[in-house]
């Protein structure tokens, strides 16, 4: 099999969707002539034309609102927001319109909209472009929130997202775009409701998602050399959370560490830790631990940026602190 990058897997999924359904189109800043800020849509303008690959003005509220209107009108828009930080300029559209219209219309109006955006740090682009805010969106009823961490998920999650009658947000960690690998045979079909066990283990469960999955797997390898057998759960779907898979894993290993690049206070990690405590408290041999991003605006300097992000050593230390 040929090697493919994460961005190419995303591009293949978008291209397949454009071919399969004439209602699908892409819109966002620099998605056309420039090929996307992360080169995900490179070449699609030449293949599908400006009607279906639409460059927009620098107005997130404007073009996300246009995407909502198109979805209400029967289209299947894929809206690209350059970075999660910029999505806050469209938060009114996402929360007060896209997520709420079905309820506020008494079930009359679905909003079949997909919004893709880059998230996470590691590229030295400072506080305006680096935060992990997907936990904020996972707080909002009416949205489905996905975080593909593997090539297969990057390739396969878009199709079911487009089939969903309600808005879906897809968060792509910016450090994953250049990662390479091979797609498996089932990379064209993907469940967007459940978590995935990425590594089996017996001594501790490490829960991660998106960009933190590689940190969790790296920690599991280090722990294995030290005689600790770690299971790694990839959430994949942040809303709804697959609580059953998480609880089943923790009830077997009796210890849990949740890794989240977002800030600790009021975070997605807090929600996962709470569900573990509520669901399998009497199976725990130690309190649930969390490894999160530092509660500061993301620094520009590389050594400070690294210090602000969860690292393999941090996860290993958290596991050992639980007595594993």
Contacts of 258 (CB under 8 A, 6+ apart): 206, 207, 208, 269, 272, 273, 276, 288, 289, 290, 291
**Nearest-CA neighbor of 138 among 251, 295, 260, 276?**
260
User: Cis ω on the peptide bond leading into residue 240 (within 30° of 0)?
Assistant: yes
From CA 169, how far away is CA 143, in angstroms rounded?
7
DSSP per-residue codes, 152-165: HHHHHSHHHHHH-S
**Nearest-CA neighbor of 220 among 210, 212, 230?**
230
From CA 44, how far away is CA 179, in angstroms rounded?
21
Residue among 29, 60, 231, 271 flagged as catalytic: 60
Residue among 8, 12, 129, 173 flagged as catalytic: 129
Among this protein's residues, is 131 annotated catalytic?
no
List, in sequence order, every residue forming a beta bridge with 290; answer none if it has no partner: 258
Among this protein's residues, is 29 annotated catalytic?
no
* Beta strands per DSSP E along the chain: 4-5, 24-28, 53-55, 76-81, 114-119, 144-146, 168-173, 180-181, 196-199, 204-208, 230-234, 237-239, 256-263, 289-293
From CA 143, how far away is CA 237, in angstroms rounded?
11
Pairing between strand 114-119 and 168-173? parallel
User: Cis ω on the peptide bond leading into residue 138 (within 30° of 0)?
Assistant: no
> In this structure, how many other beta carbons lie within 10 angstroms of the beta carbon of residue 21?
14
Residue 224 DSSP code: H
Q: Which residues are catalytic?
A: 60, 129
């Amino acid at each position: 099999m040929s090697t493919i990058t994460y961005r190419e897997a995303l591009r293949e999924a978008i291209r397949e969707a454009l071919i399969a359904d004439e209602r699908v189109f892409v819109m966002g800043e620099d998605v056309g002539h420039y090929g996307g800020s992360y080169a995900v849509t490179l070449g699609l303008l030449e293949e599908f034309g400006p009607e279906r690959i639409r460059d927009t003005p620098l107005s997130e509220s404007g073009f996300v609102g246009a995407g909502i209107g198109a979805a209400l009108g029967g289209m299947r828009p894929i809206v690209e927001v350059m970075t999660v930080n910029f999505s806050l300029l469209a938060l009114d559209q996402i929360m007060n319109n896209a997520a709420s219209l079905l309820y506020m219309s008494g079930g009359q109006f679905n909003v079949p909209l997909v919004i893709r955006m880059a998230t996470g740090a590691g590229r030295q682009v400072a506080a305006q472009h680096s935060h992990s805010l997907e936990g904020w969106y996972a707080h909002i009823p009416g949205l489905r929130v996905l975080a593909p961490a593997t090539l297969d998920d990057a390739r396969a999650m878009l199709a079911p997202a487009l089939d969903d009658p309600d808005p879906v947000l897809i968060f792509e960690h910016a450090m994953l775009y250049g990662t390479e690998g091979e797609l498996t045979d089932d990379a064209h079909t993907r469940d967007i409701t459940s978590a995935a066990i990425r590594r089996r283990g017996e001594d501790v469960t490490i829960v991660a998602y998106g960009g933190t999955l590689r940190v969790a797997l790296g920690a599991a390898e280090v722990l294995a050399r030290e005689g600790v057998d770690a299971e790694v759960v990839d959430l994949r779907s942040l809303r709804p959370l697959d609580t059953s898979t998480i609880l089943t894993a923790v009830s077997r290993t009796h210890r849990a560490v949740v890794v989240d690049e977002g800030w600790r206070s009021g975070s997605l990690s807090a929600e996962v830790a709470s569900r573990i405590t509520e669901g399998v408290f009497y199976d725990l041999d130690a309190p649930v631990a969390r490894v999160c991003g530092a509660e500061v605006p993301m620094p520009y300097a590389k050594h400070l940026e690294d210090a602000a992000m969860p690292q393999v050593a941090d996860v290993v230390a958290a596991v050992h602190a639980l007595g594993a």
